[in-house]
Amino acid sequence: MWKRFRLPSLVLAIVFLPLPVRAFDLPAAASVPGITGHPQSLSLDCESRSAADWAGFWGVSVDEITFFNQLPGTDNPETGFVGSVYDAPGNLPPRGYGVYAGPVATLLKEAYGLPADAKRNLTENELKTELASGRPVIVWYIYGFRVTAAYDLAAADGSIYRAANFEHTGIVVAYDPETFTVVDAYTGWAQRVNRAQFLNSWAVLGNLAVTGSGVPIGPLVQAAAAATPSGPPAFYIVQSGDSIRGIAGQLGVAWDDLAAENNLYPPYTIYPGQSLHVPGSRAPAPAQPEAAPSADVPLPPAETYLVQPGDTLAGIGRMYGIYWPDIANLNGIAWPYTIQPGQVLILPAR
């Protein structure tokens, strides 16, 4: 007579755990909600800004400047931050340069307990697998997603590393057949980049990346908040073409309440990828980055700009979504990049 038996619950749990997304299972498009971008505070601390925003996705608060100060200072970006963080962008070591994935991942893991792993030569499919699994990825590319020459340089200890002018970072949060979406550290804005352009720029420094492992916290927190039994969903992720009034209409809330809830003021600009907290929901509102221009509230024509008292090149660049060294170069402005009220600047095409 056959005996009945039960599988241990642990075995059943293992059998039915969700499997990682494999390359041949990849969806045509995927998006990771829960990343709130902010513009970097210092001239060359893009890596610290990306690390802080990435950490926030995993539910850990990291101060950008504190993180930068915790990085070791070395003459090799593979082991620490190279040069002065206050230098103008675009230099090669030993001038102000930056830091690569290894030290960033190590600090995120050891100082903040985050599931961070440094990667080199990460493939496109591996990147997409992370995104399809709900995990954002910090990547190293050339500012503006350009392709520049890379140089093999020697550190004092004889080790060789690769470097390129205008090394920069961002967080990849989405892909589709034609584009990748990256939260750029300089502006804090999410921008869609042509697939080939992104891949070519990412390849200059060897497809450097910081990935996470385990269960993403950001989307789970948002999902739990959105599942509250009463009231509207907790968060809304801004899509291309959205306006504050249109979103409010979709959610059934007053547009001025939605603006006030998210500390938005006239002209109420929002940008794709921004996370808006919805009035009446139970979850706390996330910190908001500087807003990029929205489609329904355009900026004045960007051919020229009349410098106002208190203006800086960096501030003007952020206002128009233009890399400020490009403004300096176009107008023949050299270090220390001073401008005067009443000066007329020619602005690069966007």
Confidence of residue 26 (pLDDT cuts 50, 70, 90): confident
pTM here is: 0.61
> Does the structure show a pLDDT above 80 at 95?
yes
In the prediction, which pLDDT does 205 show?
98
Confidence of residue 34 (pLDDT cuts 50, 70, 90): confident
> Does the structure show a pLDDT above 90 at 198?
yes
Confidence of residue 14 (pLDDT cuts 50, 70, 90): very low
Mean pLDDT of the chain: 79
In the prediction, which pLDDT does 45 show?
95
Nearest Cα to 223, choosing from 134, 131, 129? 134
Length of the chain: 350
For 168-185, write each residue's pLDDT tens digit. Answer: 999 999 999 999 999 999
> Does the structure show a pLDDT above 70 at 64?
yes
Q: How far is CA 147 from the centre of its chain?
A: 19
For residues 291 and 271, give the distance between their C-alpha atoms in angstroms, rounded to a whole number.
Answer: 6
Structure tokens at 275: 């996370």
> Does the structure show a pLDDT above 90 at 271?
no
What structural domains and CATH numbers belong to the chain? 25-212 (3.90.70.10), 228-277 (3.10.350.10), 304-346 (3.10.350.10)
